[in-house]
């Protein structure tokens, strides 16, 4: 009998077969990368104009090759930004194709962070197995400070990817002995230098030590190879700086935040030793802020240089043009103890920095010791000890630097994300070997290490958000899993059930990532609230403004710099829409629409109109961009007619202020039917 219903073949008969043959590990890394991508790309348009200092620079760079090469801060080309060019060049290329928007200039950093996840997975999986690679990738995907930075147009995300690629090259050079990989690694470090200057050198000692202690060449050859690599690093690093410094000063912009209009001075001063000593100050004589401390003037926030006093109001805004009080973002010293805490071995493990990357940092450092004792040391070093030299050396170098440095921002800690995640992955590998050889010792170490880490996380989280139910449940589940682990190890009749051990270990590992995961999600949701100084989620203190006392608030939370605290202080400027319209209409054809004291007063106007705005004092108002004679020359040449003095010229540039009073006339605000904000508008006419 012939049936009337015939079976229907599937439309894509090979699809099911292919899906069934996809390894679980492949699915796992795809899921991890997807999680990392979501955290970095979700609602990216919420960043607005992002860090307006850098976004305005990108808009300016696209107006001419001259502006592009010198990474100028405004279209007129008066002054450069205080960073090297490569990171901003990449942002400008994206903006050329997609338009100058906040999410566009942030996109390169977000993509760099996403790409770093599978690369780290590959580097850890190859020598240490799938489990180690997946764990390292997941830790990196859920690193709060990395997410904060990669959702911003500061260049750290691009730098970190470049350094990760450099690590790969040094690994290949060590494994294969082929010099081309060593040269490639040196070039990549040099390129990293041209993204964020000296910060790119933090992992360099670990890179060189890996090759010296791990490769099979004779010692004399390795010394020569590394000497040549050092020459390559320096050559690539200083190529742009030397080219700029060799250009006559009258043919290029002023080098922003330098003391003598030199990129080399910027490298070794403000962006170099100044970071370590805390004495790095932009400009020839950076003005002091409240309490007589030098003012930070990079990465998009610093009060105008005339802010000698002032207190915070109840809503967190500043009155009388003052700086935040001691205990606020800038209080207590350069870089601000309110943002980075006090120097010492506990700096990264206590507020206000612990929420950035500290959740797993103690366990990562402990992993170094575990891996060291997991095998006998030999020379050249084996793979495990090579990992300690590379990832552990990178991690320890950065931890040491940030523990003693006097001048940095909290988000600089993002450079610890890669080595910390890598060491945790390698530490998992070492624990699995120990567990196989000595089950009881392995179980005890895991329970003790995880227990102390979870307790540390609970105490830390309580300082920011109290003790939510999910945190208590996580501790309870982890405790139960630890109990199972110990029972399986110490009770003979359960030893034949290794699956219980693996399940318990997975549960414990998952518990360790719950709090960092929560922090990462919250960082994503709050990342648009501080475009000037990106930072990880700051808990219940995430209200706009500063605390006057620098201590705990009524809710028991330590008053730390808030994600929203800087929003009202950046990008407001002194140029109202009415004044901008007036200046734009009356300066057509001129190089500069107006001269202002600093970039804080003009970067938003650059984004609105794309016109040249002379930043007389560079970023913070103290750079020697102009003199009275150069101002007179600009007016005589017809390049400039209007100058807005927000009140800082008499202090930072007294000669210019006197010249204005003697040669220019005050324009009444009725001319444009509005207010200039806080300042006096002068009109200067060529005599």
pLDDT band at 270 (very low <50, low <70, confident <90, very high): confident
Hey, which of 267-276, 375-384, 466-475 has the most confident mean pLDDT?
375-384
Compute the distance between CA of residue 289 and CA of residue 300 in angstroms, rounded to an integer: 17
List of residues 6+ apart from 45 with CB closer than 8 A: 101, 102, 103
Report the mean per-residue pLDDT for the chain. Answer: 84
Alpha-carbon distance 354 to 358, whole Å?
4
Residue-level pLDDT at 5: 46
CA-CA distance, 90 to 61, in Å (whole number)? 11
DSSP assignment string, 102-147: HHHHHHHHHHHHHHHHHHHHHHHHHHH-HHHHHHHHHHHHT-HHHH
Write out the H or E segment, with its range, that includes residue 665.
Answer: strand 664-666
What's the DSSP call for residue 79? B
Render 608-660 in DSSP notation, one character per residue. Answer: HH---EEETTTTTT-S----HHHHHHHHHTTS--EEEE-S-HHHH-HHHHHHH
pLDDT tops 90 at residue 199:
yes
Confidence label for 558 from pLDDT (cuts 50, 70 and 90): very low
Mean pLDDT of 494-506: 77
Cα angle vertex 552, ends 546, 558, to 5°? 75
Tell which residue, 154, 156, 171, has the closest CA to residue 119.
171
pLDDT of amino acid 495:
65
Summarize the confidence of residues 401-426 as an average pLDDT. Answer: 95
The predicted pLDDT at position 281 comes to 43
- Is the pLDDT assigned to residue 274 strictly greater than 80? no
Q: Which of 143, 145, 172 is nearest to 156 (CA)?
A: 145
Could you count the other beta carbons within 10 Å of the beta carbon of residue 350?
15
To which H or E segment does residue 594 belong?
A: strand 594-596
Taking residues 415-444, what's their average pLDDT? 94
Judged against a pLDDT cut of 80, whether residue 391 lies above it is answered with: yes
Could you tell me which residue, 568 or 651, shows the higher pLDDT?
651
Given a cut of 60, is residue 326 above it in pLDDT?
no
Non-local (6+) Cβ contacts of 494 within 8 A are 487, 488, 500
Q: Which residues of 353-368 are buried (b: 16+ CB within 10 A; e: fewer)?
A: bbbbbbbbbbbbbbbb
Residue 439 in this model has a pLDDT that exceeds 90: no
Residues 6+ apart with CB under 8 A from 237: 189, 190, 193, 194, 200
Question: What is residue 543's predicted lDDT score, i.e. its pLDDT?
Answer: 36
| pLDDT digit string, tens, across residues 13-71 | 554 545 567 789 999 999 999 999 999 999 999 899 999 999 999 999 999 999 999 99
Is the pLDDT at 547 greater than 60? The verdict is no
Sign of the CA dihedral 603, 605, 611, 615? negative
Q: What is the pLDDT of residue 575?
A: 84
273 versus 149: the higher-pLDDT residue is 149
Assign 309 a pLDDT band (cuts: 50, 70, 90). very low
What's the whole-number mean pLDDT along residues 127-148? 97
The pLDDT of residue 494 is 66
> In the predicted model, is pLDDT for residue 467 greater than 90?
no
Q: Rounded mean pLDDT of 612-639?
A: 95
The model's pLDDT over 84-112, given as tens digits with 9 standing for 90+, comes to: 999 999 999 999 999 999 999 999 999 99
Mean pLDDT, residues 246-270 taken together: 93
What pLDDT does residue 389 have? 98
Of 219-228, 288-297, 369-378, 470-479, the least confident: 288-297
Average pLDDT over residues 194-219: 96
- What integer pLDDT is reported at residue 485 of this predicted model? 87
Confidence of residue 254 (pLDDT cuts 50, 70, 90): very high
pLDDT at 540: 61
Helices marked H in 350-468: 354-357, 361-374, 383-387, 393-404, 417-437, 439-465
Is residue 567 pLDDT above 70, yes or no? no
Instruction: Say if residue 658's pLDDT is above 60.
Output: yes
pLDDT at 20: 60
Decide: helix, strand or coil at residue 666: strand
Q: How far apart are CA 436 and CA 295, in angstroms?
A: 55
Predicted TM-score (pTM) of this structure: 0.86
Confidence band, pLDDT 50/70/90 cuts, at residue 273: confident
Task: Name the pairing type of β-strands 642-645 and 680-684.
Answer: antiparallel
């Amino acid at each position: 009998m012939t049936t009337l219903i015939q079976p229907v073949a599937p439309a894509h008969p090979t699809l099911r077969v292919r899906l069934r043959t996809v390894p679980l590990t492949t699915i796992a890394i795809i899921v991890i990368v997807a999680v990392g991508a979501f955290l970095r790309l979700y609602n990216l348009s919420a960043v607005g104009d992002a860090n307006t200092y850098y976004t305005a620079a990108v808009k300016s760079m696209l107006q001419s090759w001259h502006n592009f090469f010198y990474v100028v801060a405004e279209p007129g080309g008066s002054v450069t930004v205080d960073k090297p060019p490569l990171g901003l060049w990449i942002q400008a290329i994206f903006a050329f194709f997609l338009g100058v928007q906040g999410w566009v200039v942030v996109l390169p950093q977000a993509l760099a962070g996403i790409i770093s996840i599978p690369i780290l997975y590959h580097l850890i999986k190859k020598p240490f197995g799938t489990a180690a690679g997946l764990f390292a990738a997941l830790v990196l995907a859920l690193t709060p400070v990395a997410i904060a930075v990669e959702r911003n147009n500061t260049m750290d995300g691009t730098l970190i990817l470049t350094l990760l690629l450099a690590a790969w090259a040094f690994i290949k050079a060590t494994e294969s002995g082929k010099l081309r990989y060593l040269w490639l690694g040196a070039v990549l470090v040099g390129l990293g230098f041209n993204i964020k200057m000296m910060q790119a050198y933090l992992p360099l000692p670990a890179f060189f030590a890996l090759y010296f202690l791990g490769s099979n060449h004779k010692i004399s050859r390795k010394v020569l190879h590394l000497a040549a690599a050092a020459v390559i690093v320096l050559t690539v690093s200083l190529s742009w700086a030397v080219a700029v410094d060799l250009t006559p000063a009258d043919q290029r912009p002023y080098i922003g935040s330098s003391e003598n209009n030199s990129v080399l001075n910027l490298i070794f001063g403000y962006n170099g030793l100044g970071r370590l000593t805390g004495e790095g100050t932009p400009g020839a004589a950076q003005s002091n802020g409240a309490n007589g401390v030098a003012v930070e003037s990079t990465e998009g926030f610093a009060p105008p240089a005339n802010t000698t006093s002032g207190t915070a109001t109840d809503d967190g805004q500043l009155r009388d043009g003052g700086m935040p009080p001691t205990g606020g973002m800038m209080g207590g010293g350069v870089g601000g103890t309110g943002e980075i805490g006090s120097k010492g071995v506990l700096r990264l493990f206590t507020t206000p920095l612990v929420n950035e990357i500290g959740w797993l940092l103690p366990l990562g450092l402990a992993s170094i010791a575990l891996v060291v004792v997991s095998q006998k040391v030999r020379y050249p070093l084996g793979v495990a000890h090579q990992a300690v030299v590379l990832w552990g050396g990178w991690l320890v170098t950065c931890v040491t630097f940030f523990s003693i440095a006097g001048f940095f921002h909290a988000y600089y800690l993002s450079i610890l994300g890669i080595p910390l995640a890598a060491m945790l992955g390698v530490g998992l590998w070492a624990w699995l070997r120990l567990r196989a050889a000595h089950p009881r010792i392995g179980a005890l170490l895991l329970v003790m290490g995880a227990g102390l880490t979870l307790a540390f996380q609970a105490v830390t989280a309580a300082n920011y958000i109290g003790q939510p139910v999910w945190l208590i449940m996580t501790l309870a589940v982890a405790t139960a899993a630890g109990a199972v682990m110990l029972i399986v190890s110490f009770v003979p009749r359960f030893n034949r059930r290794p699956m219980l051990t693996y399940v318990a270990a997975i549960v414990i590992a998952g518990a360790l990532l719950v709090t960092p995961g929560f922090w990462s999600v919250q960082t994503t949701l709050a990342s648009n609230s501080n475009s000037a100084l990106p930072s990880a989620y700051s808990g219940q203190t995430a209200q706009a403004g500063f605390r006057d006392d620098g201590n705990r608030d009524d809710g028991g939370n330590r008053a730390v710099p808030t994600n929203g605290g800087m929003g009202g202080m950046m990008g407001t400027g002194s140029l109202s829409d009415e004044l901008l319209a007036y200046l734009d209409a009356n300066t057509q054809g001129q190089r500069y629409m107006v001269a202002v004291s600093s970039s804080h007063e003009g970067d938003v106007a650059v984004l609105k109109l794309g016109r040249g705005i002379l930043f007389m004092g560079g970023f913070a108002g103290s750079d020697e961009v102009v003199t009275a004679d150069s101002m007179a020359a600009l007016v005589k040449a017809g390049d400039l007619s209007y100058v807005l003095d927000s009140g800082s010229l008499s202090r930072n540039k007294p000669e210019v202020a006197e010249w204005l009073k003697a040669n220019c006339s005050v324009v009444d605000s009725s001319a444009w039917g509005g207010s200039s904000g806080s300042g006096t508008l002068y009109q200067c006419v060529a005599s």
